[in-house]
Chains A and B, each alone.
Chain A
Amino acid sequence: MSDPVHPIAEEDLHAGIDGQLAADRQPIVSRYLQDHPDIARKVAAWREQRDALRAAFAAIAAEPIPSRLLMDRLLQHRITRRSVIWRMAASALLAFGLGGAAGWFLRPGVQPPGTAAITLLAQQAVSNHVVYTADRRRPTELGAQQRDDLARWVSNRLNHQVVPPDLSADGFSYMGGRLAATPDGPAGLFMYDGPQSVRLTVFVLPLKTAGEKPIQRVDFADVDGCAWIDKGIGYAVVGKLPPSELRRIAEGVRQQLSRTT
């Protein structure tokens, strides 16, 4: 062995072939191979073998992907099963235009027949709740410190004056929020942190159809929510909370938000 302290192991030889050898080991391995032509021949053969395998299978990865393996196809199949996570994925796709799923989702007639505005509102609220509360690193776009900036931003985009409600009396501290995307246009999302790190979101979405709907409970899988429509603006409060508590918070939010308009 050329280095008695760090003898060459077979692992070094393979790591050299696979580009996974530490830079400081490379000259030691090269020197070793110079001194051991028999081993060097094997290493050359392994290297050729690696190149040949890559070449042999390269064509498959260059083929067009069969339609049954396309993501929008797979998602489409999911969304028809109407589970929250798939509506959430559809919303994400919609917002970011991945593949053709957004186009499919927007196609009229695909939405379940007779779905009330409140259901669509709730779906959007729950989708955004699930997506953003799960985000550990960046749940909000603007944090609690930038409350006024967010209020201005959201109000401008929604063309409707809205201020993040204060839920401290209910034990929820304001974390921040963001602008959210929905098929009905931009929405405001405000996030709160409650006891035992329960996350609560308040969702505000101007609807094209003017109207009034009283607070009602909506539930999707393991998330609960309350939604209502006030002067053509849809509101929702979403979180993993007992329905009675959610309702109480929703009443409070409704009072606060109707004062600001």
Chain B
Amino acid sequence: MTISGVLTRIEDCIPALRRYAAALLRNREDADDLVHDCLVRALDKLHTRRDDADVRAWLFAIMHNLFISQLRRSKARPSGEPLAETHESIGTRPEQESSLQWRDLIRALNQLPVEQRTVILLVSVEDLSYAETAQVLGIPIGTVMSRLARGRERLRQMTEEGAIRPALRRVK
């Protein structure tokens, strides 16, 4: 049954959607809001689905679009700081003790441009293929590869060379 199959697959993706949203946004509450909006939107669009293939990439794409329009809105607000800089580490939250060991890494990750962060997270953490990542982000696969390469290398430089704090410090 198509509908039930899609619903079950959506349900299966919720933990991964929460993980991705939490990695993108500094606040867990905001992250779950994003997941909620994503699920509501997915249910709105359920009737457009013909089968239950690629449900995961479909959901990540919905969430990505919501995230981007959220970014645009907050950038349009005159008083708003650029979001890329206000996204601090989720590891700084006291209840996230287990992630204290990853604090520097997450901090470095959050200093990357959002374009690189999304690619790194989708590929490294969410195990999306390069093709799926391209589909989710609506970019060519070559762009996925170059953002991945640049992001990973920048992250390596930041964590290895301790250049985490000053985001604008030029390495090289």
Contacts and interface: CB of A to CB of B under 8 A. Distances in A.
B7 A53 contact: no
B15 interface: yes
B145 A96 contact: no
B36 interface: yes
Contacts of B130: 15, 18, 20
Interface stretch (A118-126, A132-140, A231-239, A250-258): A132-140
B66 interface: no
Chain A interface SS verdict (over half): helix
A68 B7 contact: no
Contacts of A53: 102, 105, 109, 120-121, 124-125
Interface residues of A, number: 46
B102 A95 contact: no
Given A11-B145, A49-B152, A62-B15, A71 B7 contact: yes
B71 interface: no
A93 B43 CA distance: 14
Contacts of A98: 4, 7-8, 11
Contacts of A99: 11
Contact of B50 (A59, A75, A136): A136
A61 B16 CA distance: 6
A69 B91 contact: no
A68 B32 contact: yes
A131 interface: yes
A137 B148 CA distance: 37
Contact of A134 (B22, B47, B124): B47
Nearest to B40: A74
Nearest to B17: A69
A1 to B, nearest CB: 17
Given A11-B149, A59-B98, A46 B11 contact: no
A89 B7 contact: yes
B114 interface: no
B1 A57 contact: no
A49 B156 contact: yes
Interface in A196-210: none
Q: For the complex of A and B, list the 3 residue pairs with the smallest distance between their C-beta atoms, beginning with the closest.
A: A56-B102, A61-B15, A92-B4
Interface of A: 10-11, 14-15, 18, 20, 42, 45-46, 49-50, 52-63, 65-66, 68-69, 71, 74-75, 78, 85, 88-89, 92-93, 95-96, 98-99, 130-131, 134-137
15 contacts: A45-B156, A52-B105, A53-B102, A56-B91, A56-B105, A57-B23, A60-B18, A60-B22, A61-B15, A69-B36, A74-B40, A75-B7, A95-B1, A95-B4, A137-B51
